Amino acid sequence: MITFDQVAKTYPGQRRPALSHIDVTIDPGEFVFLVGPSGSGKSTFLRLILREHRATRGSVTVNGHDVGRLPGWRVPRLRRQIGTVFQDFRLLPGKTVHENVAFALQVIGKSGSHIRRTVPQTLELVGLGDKADRLPDELSGGEQQRVALARAVVNAPPILIADEPTGNLDPATSVGIMKLLDRINKGGTTVVVATHDSTIVDQMRRRVIELNAGELVRDQAQGVYGYR
């Protein structure tokens, strides 16, 4: 599903590579935590999957496609296969919860009847069925992240990527978000989460990939956070 084959990435103008010698395979349906100190390359790893950047060496394959070789016009189709969630939620402030989630379907051309059916189901999944008409600034941080999650999965992508999804949330709220990611994964979605949240990684005991200075230094089934 997602394969890194001898991947290296050096950003333009930088001497030190952000990633080097990365060899890893993530199978369909896996749940993977990506951990490592600040600057170790976690976001770069995720950006290569999304083709926000291209590898300098080696190849990144998603669903059988070498994403570095995709022509530009195919990149939107790749990104439709990958739901994304970030630390800062990135909701549209002038739109309601329903509209934020619906917008993700409108931009890919889904019909009004599909949207009216699917959005309420997805808001129920994330526990926000009763807050569809709220604006983002009328929600708590945890609720805003649930909206972002609903938006990420409303078109049922096979892959969900989350970069520090609990970075702005208190511990109790973070547990709720991780339980939701776990539930989405149990529905068959491959989930990759970059995080500094050691408590949650230690609680969940899923596969842990650790990066350090751009190198993959640990790949552990049912792993722990494992460094300070």
Ligand X SMILES: Nc1ncnc2c1ncn2[C@@H]1O[C@H](COP(=O)(O)OP(=O)(O)OP(=O)(O)O)[C@@H](O)[C@H]1O
Which amino acid appears at position 41 of this protein?
A: G
Residue 169 C-beta: closest distance to ligand X, Å: 16
Q: How many residues bind ligand X (CB under 6 A)?
A: 11
* 113 touching ligand X, by CB under 6 A: no
* 36 touching ligand X, by CB under 6 A: yes
Which residues are within 8 A (CB) of 194 and not within 5 positions of it... i.e. 6 or more apart?
A: 33, 34, 35, 42, 43, 45, 46, 162, 163, 164
- CA 172 to centroid of chain Cα atoms: 20
* 38 touching ligand X, by CB under 6 A: yes
Q: Which residues of 40-52 are buried (b: 16+ CB within 10 A; e: fewer)?
A: bbbbbbbbbbbbe
**Which residue, 37 or 120, has its beta carbon nearer to ligand X?**
37
H or E element in which residue 226 lies: none
Residue 144 C-beta: closest distance to ligand X, Å: 20
d(CA 40, CA 65): 26
Contact range with ligand X by CB under 6 A, out of 25-33, 36-44, 73-81, 134-142: 36-44
Q: C-alpha angle with apex 111: 105 to 114, nearest 5 degrees?
A: 75
* 227 touching ligand X, by CB under 6 A: no
Q: What is the crossing angle of helices 141-153 and 171-186, to 10°?
A: 20
d(CA 95, CA 138): 11
Residue 58 C-beta: closest distance to ligand X, Å: 16
**Which residue, 105 or 191, has its beta carbon nearer to ligand X?**
191
For 217, other C-beta atoms within 10 Å of its C-beta total 14
Residue 127 C-beta: closest distance to ligand X, Å: 28
Q: x/- binding map, residues 14-33, to ligand X, per CB under 6 A? A: x---x---------------
* 167 touching ligand X, by CB under 6 A: no
* 40 touching ligand X, by CB under 6 A: yes
Considering only residues 41-100, where is the footprint of ligand X by CB under 6 A? 41-44
Residue 178 C-beta: closest distance to ligand X, Å: 18
Chain residues that interact with ligand X, rule: CB under 6 A: 11, 14, 18, 36, 38-44
